[in-house]
Amino acid sequence: MTETAAGHQDSYPPSAEFAAAANAGAELYERADADREGFWAEQARRLHWHTPFTQVLDWDDAPVARWFADGELNISYNCVDRHVLDGHGDQVAIHWEGEPGDSRAITYRELLEEVSRAANYLTELGLVAGDRVAIYMPMVPEAIVAMLACARLGLTHSVVFAGFSPSALRQRVDDAQARLVITTDGQWRRGKPAPLKEAVDEALAAKGDVPSSVEHVLVVRRVGTEVPWTDGRDLWWHETVSAASPVHEAQPFPAEHPLFILYTSGTTGKPKGILHTSGGYLTQTAYTHHNVFDHKAGQDVYWCTADIGWVTGHSYIVYGPLANRATQVVYEGTPNSPNEHRHFEIIEKYGVTIYYTAPTLIRTFMKWGREIPDAHNLTGLRLLGSVGEPINPEAWRWYREVFGDNKTPIVDTWWQTETGAIMISPLPGVTDAKPGAAMRPLPGISAKVVDEEGKAVQLGETEANGYLVLDKPWPSMLRGIWGDMDRYRSTYWERYAEQGWYFAGDGAKLDTDGDLWVLGRVDDVMNVSGHRISTAEVESALVGHPSVAEAAVVGATDPTTGQGIVAFVILTGATTPDDTLVDTLKAEVSKQISPIAKPREIHIVPELPKTRSGKIMRRLLRDIAEGRELGDTSTLVDPAVFEAIRTGGN
């Protein structure tokens, strides 16, 4: 066991007990290396194929891959029917916990009935395979039922996060030319119903770039408030779907049949509709959910805290877990509703064993204080996961100590909307994990860290401009950007066109052991006097100080050094700032990383601007740091944060 200068253990091997019982062993890497396509074919056989595939990868039309292309399957059959047919109909699929405290346990048999009713009704509405359906719903069971019903019929769903504005919804509906929108009357937010159907009405009433393609709006009653109604267009779920037959026979579709479109922001204003297909996507989500989370069907209680509006919700609430016959918790509300104990109460109530969340939430829990988790019995937890951004070592250690009783493996999983499933992560029974490192590409996955020219960066090289590239196709990779294949090629494949590599847009380094550290988006890497410094590294150093709860760092233009480091920090509840604190923090960064990384300015602020998916909006902080007019704030959770930062920061 190695120790860092600060006295921290810097590598955490799995316990012997965990390793002995783990789903994945070290031999997976060898098998995948020896015969990559054979390995993926073996993984694909986790699924039920109505027509078995005979070919594995077809890369002739690169960069558009075809996996298992002559095979046929039904995604919904794989996630639901086969578990019932295998005798597990009474197993709970979803322990649903509503925000106001209501709850529902839904077995696989009940899920099959609901999905079948929805599939029958969508068919009655005239929807046919290939049509697009927009789903704009909070975290209610019907959202998952709707996704699975679309998958069952070969309809392509486009889930739009229910926190998005009417104009964002309209833009996505138009882009995909959706025929149907599925929504709810409203959603619970901190004990109060907030309207949602109205937002759909507003979106569809607006004069869009093209006339609205929407024929019907299907509405689930959730909060019971009155909603405006357009006769002929609007339909109640409880009057239609609930009255449909609970029996429906799933038809097979080709492996490359489109499954969903999910919009993600790019460098330009227009969101990109990332397109995923069926067989390869389900293969890799199921494979990773099994091995990375060490999931054991019928034993584990799994909880992924994401929203279905994001890719993590698609791959690790809906498709991966259900394909693996998971029993999982789905929670409708926010972590502090009605108070900060909510997540811990849920973990206790359902006996959660696997918990998968984002660093931003872990740091929020840290800010609230460990007495909150300490008031609960969390001993059921045996594996913890992190996703969404680099996790700073401080938060990693806190997570392991406070949630995991200093025992549980943590899997820091790197992947993207575009990759569809986890790509780089420790294997929990195999890897000696390092806090803050995503470690190694999973068996079957290949990644490189290269410079501008595509030359491999040296191990331990921290000054190089390391870019993360994926140099071999993988089953759950995106198949394009909906309606814009040129943009697909230019965004991801132009940079390393000669080599034929996928450019992920993330900076990375390999340490002297060859382990991979993701440093954040390339645009989050600063250049100070010719030195590349990751915003994540400086943030991590700041958060390492006991007075700091959360930090965001940006590179602001500087006349002498190119960029100067500007930090925004939130203090822990117990701290009262004094005149020396800012200097102390600067010295701390200098000590932890290097004097080069010492921030030019540190602003103590009450809040940080975050997107609705919890990512810090560094672009906007850069605007503040450089004294510019604010750019687009439309994806911010709460634009009022800015006033608070401006007043707090000056």
What residues line the site for ligand 6R9 (CB under 6 A)? 264, 310-312, 387-390, 412-417, 438, 504-506, 518, 520-521, 613
CB of 16 to ligand 6R9, least distance (A): 26
Amino acid at 439: M
Pairing of the two strands 548-558 and 186-189: unpaired
Three-state SS for 503? strand
The HSE-up count of residue 174 (CA atoms within 13 Å, CB side) is 18
The 10 Å Cβ neighbour count of residue 177 is 15
Binding residue per annotation — 548? yes
Q: Least Å distance between CB 120 and ligand 6R9? A: 33
Closest CA to 199 of 185, 189, 188: 185
Whichever of 181 and 518 has its CB closer to ligand 6R9, that residue is 518
User: Rounded distance, CA 363 to CA 331, Å?
Assistant: 20
CA–centroid distance for 505 within its chain: 16
The count of other CB atoms within 10 Å of the CB of residue 287 is: 29
Nearer to ligand 6R9, 328 or 613 (CB): 613
- Least spacing, CB of residue 392 vs ligand 6R9, in Å: 11
Tokens of 311: 């890719």
**349 labeled binding residue:** no
Closest CB 274 distance from ligand 6R9, rounded Å: 8
Structure tokens at 114: 């609901």
Whether residue 506 is annotated as binding a ligand: the answer is yes
- Residues pairing with 58 in the sheet: 66
Q: How far is the CB of 522 from ligand 6R9 (least distance, A)?
A: 9
- The two beta strands, 132-136 and 180-184, are parallel
Determine if residue 397 is labeled as part of a ligand binding site: no
CB closest to ligand 6R9, residue no: 417
Closest to ligand 6R9 by CB, 343 vs 521, is 521
In terms of CB distance, is 8 or 615 closer to ligand 6R9?
615
Report whether 141 belongs to an annotated binding site: no
Q: Which residues have CB under 8 Å from 50's CB, separation 6+?
A: 72, 73, 74, 77, 252
Helix, strand, or coil (residue 431) = coil
Q: Could you give the C-alpha distances from 8 to 3, 12, 461, in angstroms and in order?
A: 5, 11, 22
To the question of whether residue 545 is assigned a binding role by annotation, the answer is yes
In whole angstroms, the minimum distance from the beta carbon of 265 to ligand 6R9 comes to 9
The annotation status of 619 as a binding-site residue, yes or no, is: no
- Region of residue 457 (phi > 0: left; psi between -120 and 50: alpha; otherwise: beta): beta
379 is in an annotated binding site: no
Q: Which of 120, 135, 131, 136 is nearest to 258 (CA)?
A: 131
User: Is 132 annotated as ligand-binding?
Assistant: no
Q: Is 336 annotated as a binding residue?
A: yes
Nearer to ligand 6R9, 253 or 501 (CB): 501
Shortest Cβ 69–ligand 6R9 spacing (Å): 26
> What is the token pair recorded at 348?
């206790």
Nearer to ligand 6R9, 201 or 389 (CB): 389
Tell me the closest approach of the beta carbon of residue 476 to ligand 6R9, in angstroms: 12
Q: In the complex with ligand 6R9, which residue's Cβ is closer, 107 or 392?
A: 392
Compare residues 441 and 520 and give the one whose CB is closer to ligand 6R9: 520
Distance, CA of 578 to chain centre: 38
CA dist 190 and 207 (Å) reads 33
Placement of tokens 């923090």 in the chain? 585
The reply, when asked if residue 414 is annotated as ligand binding, is yes
**Residue positions forming the annotated binding site:** 189-192, 312, 336, 388-390, 412-417, 506, 521, 529, 532, 543, 545, 548
Q: Annotated binding residues for Mg(2+), as ranges?
A: 543, 545, 548
Binding-site positions for CoA:
189-192, 312, 336, 529
